[in-house]
Structure 1
Amino acid sequence: MTNVIDGNAAAADVRAGIEDCVETLGAAGVTPRLATVLMNDQQASATYVSMKQQDCEEVGIAAEDVRIDSDAPAEELFDAVADLNARESVHGILVQDPTPEHVPDERVTSAVDPAKDVDAFHPENVGRLVADRPRFRPCTPHGIQRLLANAGVDLDGADVVVVGRSKIVGKPLANMLAGRGDGGNATVTLCHSHTDDLAAHTRRADVVVAAAGVTELIDGSMLSEGCVVVDVGINRVDETNEKGYRLVGDVDFESAKQKASAITPVPGGVGPMTRAMLLYNTVKAASEQTGVDVDLP
């Protein structure tokens, strides 16, 4: 019987540990604080920010919401980030994607103080990750790593195929799974839109991670018997229900479930863990900046 990996349950365990860390910090007079910066008019982005703010409040992390008009000069964003960098009471900073076209992405990722970069997008933090000396692990890849560990998936020597090469998921995850130590030591193949015969790669994999952003790109015919499937995709498809749509991943869940020994659902799989690991990184940042030791979950 296929194990449907419960991301909500795994995230709840992490959040419980985070609450303990927040109490430890609080006893030392420290309140961890995450500042989110939003500079776009997309409803989805506003929803994501609100969810992150709510997550913080539920575990005792102070949440600061910075909003900047999408038509404002780019310097207004960078001035706001510089102010947050300088404030000792702010331990984590997250600039919500996307930013307007007149704001250079590369400059945004470099503007946040690396010690407060809880997304782990700053070039210094990317370099540390590649060097196997991470300050922070990016939230979604770290969440995936934890989900696999919780499901009892042994990655040591495993053949893993990651489909998608984004800087947010695919590239950092490939580095983490191939790295030394717990949750690593896998042999990783990174596939993408230019890969010839994707199915030939996925069929030989012990673990397949789908993070291409393409609706139901991978189905059961592309998988080996007993493999583990992690679906990072969140895509809307039209549906005759109250919302007018339903959420599906990059994997055709029903056909993949017939082959997989374990699989993450959409929703309720990777998403909750991504949010939990943002809290993890924020508490870790507060601990390192203040010198108050905590027992991270």
Structure 2
Amino acid sequence: MAAHLLDGTAVSRTIFGEVAERAANFTARQGRPPCLATVLIGDDPASHAYVRMKQRRAGQLGLESRRVQLPAGTTTEEAVAAVRALSQDDEVDGILVQHPAPAQVDEIAVFEAIAPDQDVDGVTMASFAAMGLSANGFHSCTPEGIVRLLDAYDVPIAGQRVCVVGRSAILGKPVGLLLLARDATVTFCHSRTTDLAAQVAEADIVVAAVGRPELIRGEWIKPGAVVVDAGYNPGNVGDVEFSAAAQRASYITPVPGGVGPMTIAVLMGQTVIAAENRVRETAGRS
């Protein structure tokens, strides 16, 4: 069988339309657009490309995009100070710290400088706790995008066996938490799991988020399983051996065009929600 594609580009287009409408309504009411501030540390070309893409999309949707560029030699203290300054700005609704930061910067400390109500990328401890406790708060963008993509194609989650390959704090762990909250049975694996092939072979849904090209072999996929490849490696190669996996899976994400557009869609949507929440909270205090 040949798998159907989980087309993140098509699904994100619908979300972008909703975001643009809400952003326009917000701007009409408040006299300013929702504002996303992006903090970029250093000179990594891929990071610069990602930030430009996010800025371009924000502009297309009617959001203001504010870019803070810090030099490669920036210290943790300097990065924290820059983020705290943005958190104190009443016209900044969401803050994104572009990952990765240079080695000398403590990313966790910089993330924690983001006020929880501005953490539209879902990277703070408060957001992680909200995902784990199914409480109100922003979700990590890629994990939330994955869940929305599965929902868009009516992929059942409750009762399914899920294998998450990857354990990062911004992707592997939170996507497992979100799927667990939807009543899936979740197994976390990684590049050092000794029986990785056997774990993948048992899964109804495989989420690959380990950052190693084609680590997940096509023959490991259980016939009819759903494969979500959140990896992106040089040459437009994901973490899954796409051609072979597509012959066994029922649904599979392309790379690119699968998870990536959903990440951007969630980021933009959560920025508008942050703006709306801040207005409501300000009105409630007056």
**Structures share fold, TM-score greater than 0.5:** yes
Alignment match, 1:172: 174
* Aligned-pair CA distance for 1:104: 1.4
- Contact 2:127 2:140 survives alignment (8 Å): no
The one-character-per-residue Cα deviations of 1:78-118 (angstroms, maximum 9, x if unpaired) are 22212111111000011111222232122111111111011
- Contact 2:74 2:105 survives alignment (8 Å): no
**Stretches (4+) displaced over 6 A:** none
| Residues 106-145 of structure 1 aligned to structure 2 (within 5 Å) | 106-145=108-147
Distance, in Å, in 2 between the alignment partners of 1:73 and 1:259 is 48
| Residues 232-243 of structure 1 aligned to structure 2 (within 5 Å) | 232-236=230-234
| Residues 214-293 of structure 1 aligned to structure 2 (within 5 Å) | 214-236=212-234, 246-291=235-280
**Is residue 185 of structure 2 the alignment partner of residue 196 of structure 1?**
no
Structure 1 residue runs of 5 or longer lacking an equivalent are 237-245, 293-297
- Contact 2:236 2:255 survives alignment (8 Å): yes
Distance, in Å, in 1 between the alignment partners of 2:63 and 2:113 is 23
Distance, in Å, in 2 between the alignment partners of 1:87 and 1:70 is 24
- Contact 2:76 2:110 survives alignment (8 Å): no
How many residues matched?
279
Q: What amino acid does structure 2 have at the position aligned with 1:46? A: H
Alignment match, 2:10: 9
Distance, in Å, in 1 between the alignment partners of 2:13 and 2:244 is 29
Alignment match, 1:101: 103
* Aligned-pair CA distance for 1:277: 0.7
**Is residue 203 of structure 2 the alignment partner of residue 205 of structure 1?**
yes
Q: Secondary structure at the residue paired with 2:42?
A: coil
Alignment match, 1:72: 74
* Aligned-pair CA distance for 1:74: 3.4
Distance, in Å, in 2 between the alignment partners of 1:149 and 1:188 is 17
Higher helix share: 2
Distance 1:170 1:134, change over 3 A: farther
Q: Secondary structure at the residue paired with 1:235?
A: coil
Distance 1:39 1:132, change over 3 A: same
Structure 2 residue runs of 5 or longer lacking an equivalent are 282-286
* Aligned-pair CA distance for 1:194: 2.8
Normalising by structure 2, we get a TM-score of: 0.94
Q: Percent identity?
A: 43
Aligned residue among 40, 45, 51 for 2:47 = 45
* Aligned-pair CA distance for 1:134: 3.6
